[in-house]
Structure 1
Amino acid sequence: MSTHLTVEHFGQTLWLMPDRAVYWPAQRALLVADVHIGKAASYRALHQPVPRGTTDATLQRLDALLTGCDCEQLIILGDFLHARTARAPATLARLQAWRARHAHVRMVLLRGNHDRHAGDPPTQLGIEVRDQPWVLGPFALQHEPDVHQDYPVLAGHVHPVFVLRGRGRQRLRLSCFVLGEQVSLLPAFGEFTGGWNIEPTPGNRIYLAAADQVWAVQD
């Protein structure tokens, strides 16, 4: 497995994973956001030329993380299914096979905006579905990055990315984690997702997720 970066956040040790996930050792939990299963198929249904194989690639990455980390829980911070078209029989068969490989893992989905349109995952997948926020340890786990009046928030939804600028017009756009004093953001886990540019602000720590490592952005 690629090298993770260990950080301390509100008294908790978190592993920021290059594969755009967070492992929380104290809870033996893997956290991901914005998986968007079936997004490419949804675009193809609209006759848009988009890549194939994104669902398989996403599930393979989840396989590796769930196997490589000591996981009792997978917590999805919203947008597991992209749309109702993700319920195509072939997609559901892939999801069922993936779920069977991790039958011992508790899986919890906090409904996101796409989940509300796509509907809850089929019951045979054995994924517990909750409305946000879900308070676990010192955190409020949510999809939308809204401030909670009592707890620091871990959220998704905005697909944060950071642009590294080099000489001339050189630019590299990378997914990132943002750890803030009130709200922290996970990058989008899915293969076929866009991104929202993040700039450093006081009180926020930005960590870039590359192919095999995570590193901090220095102001």
Structure 2
Amino acid sequence: MTPTTAVFREHTFELHPYGAAFWKDRSMLLVADVHLGKTAHFRKNGMAVPEQAMYKAYEKLDELCAHYEPETLCFLGDLFHSYINNEWKLFQSWVRTAKTNLVLITGNHDIIPEHKLEKLNIEIKDEWELEEFLLTHEPTDHPELFNLCGHIHPGIRLKGPAKQTLKLPCFFQKEHQLILPAFGEFTGKYVMTPTKEDKVFAVTPEEVLLVSGE
């Protein structure tokens, strides 16, 4: 897999094909909209989702942590999709074996009581200001800080010469903001329309490609 390097406010980030961003200067791995528990939620409601899909996010997180060895893994909201369900024990087990500090910026789907997450040594924040950056779940305009966020599940529609189209998740960069793609399975994509000032990094299974902007 081939990440791409991007620089925001003179800080270096690696944008990974799994939809994660590694902030080199702070040894921090950022992921948004993991939506753990969504597979169990779907299966409980009779949807034909393979049980194996439940493990995919954990496998990707483990692979990323083994590769980058981050000091901190920060979830930019919507870590767990629903109330506690059959996946909660799997989540507890994964957290207890994690070899990094875990921080959750709360999102609209994070409805599990905070004390249950804090009992697992997950630090909870509404937002997080770090140097010249503001970490939030929903995109937030700030007059001075660069916003790192999720929530939108950004995607981009690419068109080929034969009028074929392909919709891919993407990292969507505005002048003072980077919106991360959804990390979880079965999350959908919201197709973005970039302006000339925006940059779009399309996410493929093998690489991250700058497809709009310079």
TM range (shorter): over 0.9
- In angstroms, what is the RMSD of aligned CA positions? 1.6
**Distance in 2 separating the partners of 1:207 and 1:171:** 17
Mapped pair 1:151 → 2:145: yes
Q: 1:197 corresponds to which residue?
A: 191
Residues 42-191 of structure 1 correspond to what in structure 2 (within 5 A)?
42-84=41-83, 87-88=84-85, 90-102=86-98, 104-115=99-110, 117-120=111-114, 121-132=116-127, 134-191=128-185
Is the Cα–Cα contact under 8 Å of residues 95 and 125 in structure 1 kept in the other structure?
Answer: no
CA deviation profile, 1:29-74 (whole Å, cap 9, x unmatched) = 0000000001122223332333432331000000000110030000
Q: 1:215 corresponds to which residue?
A: 209
Number of equivalenced pairs:
212
Q: 1:15 corresponds to which residue?
A: 14
**Distance in 1 separating the partners of 2:113 and 2:97:** 23
**Distance in 1 separating the partners of 2:77 and 2:90:** 20
Secondary structure of residue in 2 paired with 1:162 = strand
Percent sequence identity is 35
Shift of 1:173: 1.1
Is the Cα–Cα contact under 8 Å of residues 157 and 168 in structure 2 kept in the other structure?
Answer: yes
**Distance in 2 separating the partners of 1:6 and 1:122:** 32
**Distance in 1 separating the partners of 2:82 and 2:94:** 19
**Distance in 2 separating the partners of 1:209 and 1:43:** 25
**Distance in 2 separating the partners of 1:81 and 1:119:** 11
**Distance in 1 separating the partners of 2:60 and 2:120:** 18
Q: Which amino acid aligns with 1:205?
A: K
**Distance in 2 separating the partners of 1:186 and 1:98:** 23
Q: Which amino acid aligns with 1:139?
A: F
Where does the alignment leave 5 or more consecutive residues of structure 2 unmatched? none
User: Cα–Cα, structure 1 residues 99 and 142, in superposed 2: closer, same or farther, change >3 Å?
Assistant: same
Return structure 1 stretches of 4+ with deviation > 6 angstroms: none
Is the Cα–Cα contact under 8 Å of residues 54 and 192 in structure 1 kept in the other structure?
Answer: no
Secondary structure of residue in 2 paired with 1:31 = strand
TM-score by length of 2: 0.92
Secondary structure of residue in 2 paired with 1:211 = coil
Is the Cα–Cα contact under 8 Å of residues 5 and 213 in structure 1 kept in the other structure?
Answer: yes
Shift of 1:178: 1.1
Is the Cα–Cα contact under 8 Å of residues 177 and 208 in structure 1 kept in the other structure?
Answer: yes
Shift of 1:169: 4.5
